[in-house]
Structure 1
């Protein structure tokens, strides 16, 4: 008689992984004919319909490429839906001035914060201070000032990249506002 093996599914804490089980996992395949990928991206079968196709990521992107959200609606319904969505989304922009100000307000990305550190500026520095700091640091390590110095050239590239990150962020803010 073979010796019985003790299961790993006993006691506390559970000794097996929480998502591990003995049953086979049910996987839905992509609804695109001939595709064997996992279908985990829902796509509507028709406008304003709760029924969904389940595609893999590649086929969902292909299906949604020319999707018209307002298809099947007359002009008045399209305008009403667009206005309702704009008013729902506008609440976030309107409430923005109630947020905290300063370095922790979340208005700058992680890349912008790293760029400010490179230029040795505070998190709430305006763009004029950024431009002034970049010019001062670039004059010290510019390749024309220190020809043949590879360390100075690397520092200049670092400052230039930091400035470009902050300049593009400033341009985006001006474009939105």
Structure 2
């Protein structure tokens, strides 16, 4: 009896932590050559293929940064696929007024990003910079400055809409904050 050792799995309560076992666990390594980290992020080997690579988080991010979801589609097919994605994800947009509906990281929406591109600003621009850029651009194409110019009027409307999107987003953030 002196050589036997008592198991810690007897009786109640358990005398060891849950998930602490003596068996070897199988760990899949990253498929990137030379990487010894755990490969738990699946990535498709090619579009519409069931075969997957399994990368660590760092190499999965690198692989996905070069991924083009719309590769091989013409402009109409791209717009159709984007429209389908938006309609399928509409439930998430409806739930944005709940705290759990947003991303939580303070990032900007696609509409805000398009508005910032139109105003030629960086994604992390403060609202004061947005207001300044809006005023400068609006002064150049305002209908009073260029009367009868349809192109300038259209640009002015786009700038106004971009500013309105960013202003409303700023108001929403200030209400949450």
Q: TM-score, normalised by structure 1?
A: 0.51
Partner of 2:169: 173
Cα 1:106/1:67, change in 2 over 3 Å: closer
Which runs of 5 or more structure 1 residues have no equivalent in the other structure?
112-169
- Number of aligned residue pairs: 112
Cα 1:32/1:175, change in 2 over 3 Å: farther
Question: Partners of 1:8 and 1:44 in 2: how far apart?
Answer: 43
4+ residue segments displaced more than 6 Å: 104-107
Cα 1:74/1:14, change in 2 over 3 Å: farther
Cα 1:173/1:11, change in 2 over 3 Å: same
- Partner SS state of residue 89, structure 2: helix
RMSD: 3.6
Question: Partners of 1:5 and 1:64 in 2: how far apart?
Answer: 50
Question: Partners of 1:73 and 1:25 in 2: how far apart?
Answer: 43
Partner of 1:93: 93
Question: Partners of 1:21 and 1:11 in 2: how far apart?
Answer: 16
Which runs of 5 or more structure 2 residues have no equivalent in the other structure?
107-165, 173-177
After TM superposition, give the deviation of residue 36 of structure 1 in Å.
0.9
Cα 1:43/1:15, change in 2 over 3 Å: same
Partner of 1:155: none
After TM superposition, give the deviation of residue 175 of structure 1 in Å.
8.9
After TM superposition, give the deviation of residue 86 of structure 1 in Å.
0.3
CA displacement, residues 9-62 of structure 1 (integer Å, 9 cap, x when unaligned)? 112222222111111111110001111111111111111222211111221111
- Partner SS state of residue 58, structure 1: helix
Cα 1:7/1:90, change in 2 over 3 Å: same
Cα 1:58/1:106, change in 2 over 3 Å: closer
Contact persistence 1:47–1:72 (CA under 8 A)? no
Question: Partners of 1:68 and 1:175 in 2: how far apart?
Answer: 34
